Structure 1
Amino acid sequence: MVTALRPKPGPTRNYHFPNFLDEILPSGIRLVTAPVAKLPVVTVLVVVNAGSTNDPKGKEGVAALTAGTLLEGSKRFDGAELAEKFEQLGTSVESGADWDSAFIKITVLSRRVDEATKLLGEAISSPVFPEREIERAKAERLAEILQLETEPRGLADEKFSEFLYTEESRYSKPDEGSSESVSALSRKDVEEFYRSGYRSGSTTVIITGDISTEAARALVTRAFQDWPSGQAPHRPLIAAARTTRKSIHIVDKPDAPQSELRAGHVGLPRNHPDFFPTLVMNAVLGGLFGSRINLNLREAHGYTYGASSFYDWRRGPGPFVVSTAVQSEVTAPALREILLEIDRIRGERISEEELSLARDYLDGVFPIRYETTAAIASALATLVIYDLPANYYDSYRKNVRGVSADAVLRAARSHLHPDELQTIVVGDARVIRASVSDLNVGDMHVHSS
């Protein structure tokens, strides 16, 4: 029998995040263990409080450079030898840094986890940071910056942060550093950053998969016996806005057929008590394909292939951003519609249909995010980095479901600030300047690219 009726979804099944143990070892290392015995696989994730917000002033990018070259050689093995030894154990190792932390991660068969973790501990406890690898990594970053400066999308993202935050804020500069700061970095800078930041009191080791808590504890104690003790120095985070007056910055790209458009303001820290109402509010505004901003600009007006909004969640107040790319001729109309949508969600309650769509999506996709040991380890890292409660994942769906239309309205009125919007347009100033100025979007500044 053929039917055109869509089958009804079944009842929502309960979800329980894997149990985990959170403890501090005698060495000062924090150990989080989540035994998950579905498959004979273990993920070991080392998280160090050595992200880009810890970069010393004038040395922006040193955190990323340190994490990126951490595995390029140890006292016993060079980088190629290390990579080969990990491959012989059936795994590969990766390292990196974001705003809030540095990380090193492996996923390996449980029968090889002792050898792999011992090798990992040795590698990151005795890095030598070869000069040639430092220079290679710097050259790669400088080439990336050069490419970004010629590509409007990346340029818009970087200029938005630069114009949004005060010059003293680390957030005003790229997390991996600018061409000026990266060019000036030396091997000595990397070694000093490693020595000051990579310490036991600033380190969490997360182990998930086919392993017991007792075995994980013994494993980390052995593998990290040479990890430096102590606590990394605390660097105060400045995340103040450059201005609270509405402003628009046009970065001139003569003859550009499109405009890259960003509009936003300083947002919220990740552990803000209004996280869930704000999450649902943004899903309705611009966080989903069926959100208001995307339906308006893409479906109703045909200005773009896609438009979105998001809060960049960090320890400190990251930016709230609306992002899209449009033809130059419709830059001003597109910006007008974005402003109208921000005003609309602040002005009246969303419909029950919109609320249901946002909550159903956030609720429905949640469990499938944590199906692998690596995903579970990353989730536990989020708890550690942002100091979230231990029951965060078990209560996540309930908290999403508990957001009402009134709570969304309160979040929009409290955490969307149209009078403080900073707008960045990378495009042809000759084409867009006059029409954009008619929108009354604040003081206008035109910059050369």
Structure 2
Amino acid sequence: MVDAGAASESAANAGTASLALDLFDKGTRSRDVFKLADDLASLGANLSTATGADLSIVRLQSTTAALQPSLALMADAALNPSFAADQFTLQKQRRLAQIAQERAQPNALAQRIVPGLLYGEAHAYGKPASGSEATVGKIAREDLARWHATWFKPGSATIIVTGDTTLAKLVPALEASFGGWKAGTAPAKQVSTVARTQGKRLYLIDKPGAPQSTIVAAHVSEAAGQPEDLAMEPVMQNFGGMATSRLNRNLRLDKHWSYGTSGQLTYPRGQRAFMVVAPVQTDKTKESMLEVAKEIRGVAGERPLAGEEYASIMRNMTSRLAGRFATLSALESAAITSLNLGLPDTYWSAYAGNIRGLTEAQLAAASGKFVRPNELVWLVIGDLRKIEAGVRELGWGEATILNADGTPAPR
């Protein structure tokens, strides 16, 4: 885990971090893409990468018996990527195709557009990790090598290991693989604090002929590290995190207007976003927006979690605790969360007891702090010929028509 991620980029070079990570398993200075793939396959190992808002991740899955030689391959990929010209050209073409696909799919398009509306396009969290056609089109191999040399430093890296091993076995293997990593620390990232979201803003994107409209309601909420963070877990699970959440009970199970909706608090290290995503049938767009707004007001305080609903969600939260960390991936995820959010060492050992101790009053207090209906920004993607008039009738602010790249569209 390297403290970099999409937040290490400026708006002008968005996509650099993720494009660099995509090429880590495409060849090193001593192994071309085929040799690296063959060596991994011969050990039964798998190498993958991921880019989050705050972290860049290189992940190795290996058998215990082949851990040491597999670690050597991981280190070679992470420390000595070649960014070979042919693989760079191919991966860049794939990335541009990926961006086009994201812009064509309404839910993915919403995830590209909303961060800029909430944080501003110049903010570390205000751009899509994949970048845009304009920024990716300008990226050169040298830019990837420069990003890697700047951000992949051992002083900014953490190694997480889950599996059947011990420190006594592990440390010598890590020293053999990563011991030559030249000392250094990555620069501090510039993640500014943004003001509360200015509400009463409505944005529309036209998708002619779309059978569904995608409704997004969002605002910037609180940064991680609040005393109420734990209480928001059952609140958000009950609101929009499961098949029988309030949003799904309303729009899917009761009215049959949607196949499924979600509500979440995003999890960057800095200020998180409260966000609802609701794909609904086109002819119920306006009515669904009213229902989403009602549910948001409800969770913010009009309808606090109480009585049997409170008892039900607490059963849901506690009944699954026994198996919460039964897999290596779950243990890994917990360690990543601890690292990214700076959780205390006792956080997970005390987690079950702390969850069980949450009261109705604590859930209500947390809801009112994190969810602010008057600050909502709305984005609706759909066939404007069919939905625009009804959406405008709501009077939820001046409607702005956007292109698929988030820029204002001429009318």
Shorter-chain TM-score above 0.5: yes
Q: Does residue 397 of the first structure (1) align with residue 352 of the second (2)?
A: yes
Q: Does residue 347 of the first structure (1) align with residue 302 of the second (2)?
A: yes
Q: Does residue 217 of the first structure (1) align with residue 171 of the second (2)?
A: yes
Q: Could you tell me which residue of structure 2 aligns to residue 447 of structure 1?
A: 402
Per the alignment, do residues 266 and 149 of structure 1 end up closer, same or farther by CA in structure 2, a change over 3 Å counting?
Answer: same
Q: Could you tell me which residue of structure 1 aligns to residue 328 of structure 2?
A: 373
Q: Answer yes or no: is the 8 Å Cα contact 2:306–2:360 preserved in 1.
A: yes
Q: Does residue 128 of the first structure (1) align with residue 71 of the second (2)?
A: no
C-alpha displacement of 1:242: 8.6
Q: Answer yes or no: is the 8 Å Cα contact 2:203–2:401 preserved in 1.
A: yes
Q: Could you tell me which residue of structure 2 aligns to residue 363 of structure 1?
A: 318
C-alpha displacement of 1:374: 3.8
C-alpha displacement of 1:352: 2.2
Q: Could you tell me which residue of structure 2 aligns to residue 414 of structure 1?
A: 369
* SS class of match (1:118): helix
Q: Could you tell me which residue of structure 1 aligns to residue 409 of structure 2?
A: none
Q: Could you tell me which residue of structure 1 aligns to residue 202 of structure 2?
A: 248
TM-score, scaled relative to structure 1: 0.85
Q: Could you tell me which residue of structure 2 aligns to residue 238 of structure 1?
A: 192
Match of residue 68, structure 2, among 98, 114, 135: 114
| Cα distance in 2 for residues equivalent to 1:367 and 1:178 | 43
* SS class of match (2:12): coil
C-alpha displacement of 1:222: 1.7
Q: Gapped runs of 5+ residues in structure 1? A: 1-46
Match of residue 296, structure 1, among 228, 231, 250: 250
Q: Does residue 261 of the first structure (1) align with residue 215 of the second (2)?
A: yes
* SS class of match (1:229): coil
* SS class of match (1:182): helix
| Cα distance in 2 for residues equivalent to 1:299 and 1:56 | 43
Superimposed CA distance per residue, residues 324-379 of structure 1 (whole angstroms, 9 cap, x where no aligned partner): 11122211111101111121231243222211222222223344342233432332
Q: Answer yes or no: is the 8 Å Cα contact 2:11–2:123 preserved in 1.
A: no
Q: Answer yes or no: is the 8 Å Cα contact 2:115–2:121 preserved in 1.
A: no
C-alpha displacement of 1:74: 1.7
Q: Answer yes or no: is the 8 Å Cα contact 2:229–2:366 preserved in 1.
A: no
Superimposed CA distance per residue, residues 211-255 of structure 1 (whole angstroms, 9 cap, x where no aligned partner): 221221222122112212110001211352695132110112233
Q: Answer yes or no: is the 8 Å Cα contact 1:170–1:239 preserved in 2.
A: no
Q: Could you tell me which residue of structure 2 aligns to residue 86 of structure 1?
A: 40
Per the alignment, do residues 241 and 323 of structure 1 end up closer, same or farther by CA in structure 2, a change over 3 Å counting?
Answer: farther
Per the alignment, do residues 135 and 446 of structure 1 end up closer, same or farther by CA in structure 2, a change over 3 Å counting?
Answer: same
Q: Could you tell me which residue of structure 2 aligns to residue 308 of structure 1?
A: 262
Q: Could you tell me which residue of structure 2 aligns to residue 23 of structure 1?
A: none
Measured on the aligned residues, the alpha-carbon RMSD in Å equals 1.8
* SS class of match (1:445): strand
| Cα distance in 1 for residues equivalent to 2:36 and 2:223 | 38
| Cα distance in 1 for residues equivalent to 2:210 and 2:80 | 49
Match of residue 203, structure 1, among 151, 157, 179: 157
Q: Could you tell me which residue of structure 1 aligns to residue 106 of structure 2?
A: 152
Counterpart of 1:195, as a letter, is A
Q: Gapped runs of 5+ residues in structure 2? A: 405-411
Counterpart of 1:314, as a letter, is P
Deviates more, 1:195-204 or 1:100-109: 100-109
- The share of aligned pairs that are identical, in percent, is 28
Q: Could you tell me which residue of structure 1 aligns to residue 121 of structure 2?
A: 167
Counterpart of 1:281, as a letter, is V
Q: Does residue 433 of the first structure (1) align with residue 388 of the second (2)?
A: yes
Per the alignment, do residues 86 and 388 of structure 1 end up closer, same or farther by CA in structure 2, a change over 3 Å counting?
Answer: same
| Cα distance in 2 for residues equivalent to 1:340 and 1:216 | 53
* SS class of match (1:231): coil
* SS class of match (1:48): coil
TM-score, scaled relative to structure 2: 0.93
Q: Answer yes or no: is the 8 Å Cα contact 2:10–2:124 preserved in 1.
A: no
Higher strand fraction (1 or 2): 1
| Cα distance in 1 for residues equivalent to 2:94 and 2:82 | 20
Q: Does residue 184 of the first structure (1) align with residue 142 of the second (2)?
A: no
Counterpart of 2:332, as a letter, is A
Counterpart of 1:108, as a letter, is S
